[in-house]
Amino acid sequence: MQHVQIEPTFDSWRDRSRALLRSKVPPEQVLWLDQHQNELTFDAHYDLLENAHIMPKVPQEFIDLARNVAAHDHPQRWALLYQLVWRITHGGEAHLLAMATDPQVRRAHQWRKEVSRSIHKMHAFVRFRAVDVDVASKRECYVAWFEPPYRIVRLAAPFFQKRFTQMNWSILTPDECVHWDGKILQFTVGVARDAAPTADAMDEYWRTYYRSIFNPARVKIQAMHAEMPKIYWHNLPEAEIIQSLVQESSQRVGQMMATDERPTLPAPKNAYLEKLRTLDDVCFRNDARREETEPTSKTVRSLQTHDGVAEKMAERLE
């Protein structure tokens, strides 16, 4: 049995799995262990590259799937990925990933779906706080604290790099941190919560924004929890006012219903809009005239059918 110790990252798993595949070590002879799994006893393992063969080709589809699955926290993810890649490269199942009903493929896609959803939530719920201005570059510096359920920092970072390219920022998480200085992304080890700022003036802007988009007439608690899971609330400044907004929703709806309807404002006088209205009126009148003078194709078909039936009935009577 091979005890393979890796860091809990895709790159670390890929490096070790390449050596295992070259040496044709089957999945049942491999026990995967990462930093979060304590193992006191290890079997002495041999040189995997001894008598190694050429590395078989792995499809890009599997690489993309494996990157996301590796970010999951299930302890069996490394073993599952190796079983899949073994079947693809050594088991004669080159098109394995196309088999959606295969239990291992289905499980891998489920884990990827969960990771992808967490990436989407990270994109939506990271809240940066201003901390300083870089003296050399004159760029504003921001820091955010986030607690993702999976190790998704590397997968989510390109989104923030593209969207906030004009400022220096850091996103701190318990497992890993990412930093952008306007040139390159850098990754460092995770930190504790107290390493990040707790509040700034931007928090009130977030609360003001949330008040403005909150619709008291369409309060759906279950849907809100699905889109904004409560596991993220303790790091969202706007979450502090959600309960009060929900409690006040009935009263606010009553006030809106009791308010007199506002008078309709006259249409703005705009030459371009007037021209469009004129063209619309002309087209409408032309269509009406055409319908009066020319029977539609449906009417023609109906008349033809009626005439044909009448002729057949006349022939029978004769």
* Those residues with Cβ within 8 angstroms of residue 311's Cβ, 6 or more apart along the chain or in another chain: none
pLDDT of residue 313: 53
The partner residues of 261 in beta bridges, in order of sequence, read none
For range 56-66, the mean pLDDT? 93
Half-sphere exposure of 278 (CA within 13 A, CB side): 6
Tell me the pLDDT tens digit for each residue of 119-130: 999 999 999 999
The answer, yes or no, to whether residue 135 has pLDDT greater than 80, is yes
Average pLDDT of the chain to the nearest whole number? 86
Q: From the CB of residue 88, how many other CB atoms can be counted at a distance below 10 Å?
A: 21
* Domain residue limits, the chain: 2-121, 126-195, 202-258
Low-confidence winner among 10-24, 38-52, 265-279 (lowest mean pLDDT): 38-52
Residue 208 CB coordination number (10 Å): 11
Q: Is the pLDDT of residue 132 over 60?
A: yes
Q: For 213-222, what is the mean pLDDT?
A: 90
Answer whether residue 37 shows pLDDT above 60: no
Give the CA diameter of the chain: 106
73-104 per-position pLDDT tens digit: 999 999 999 999 999 999 999 999 999 999 99
pLDDT given for residue 40 in this prediction: 39
* CB 6 within 8 Å of CB 78: yes
- State the pLDDT at residue 85: 96
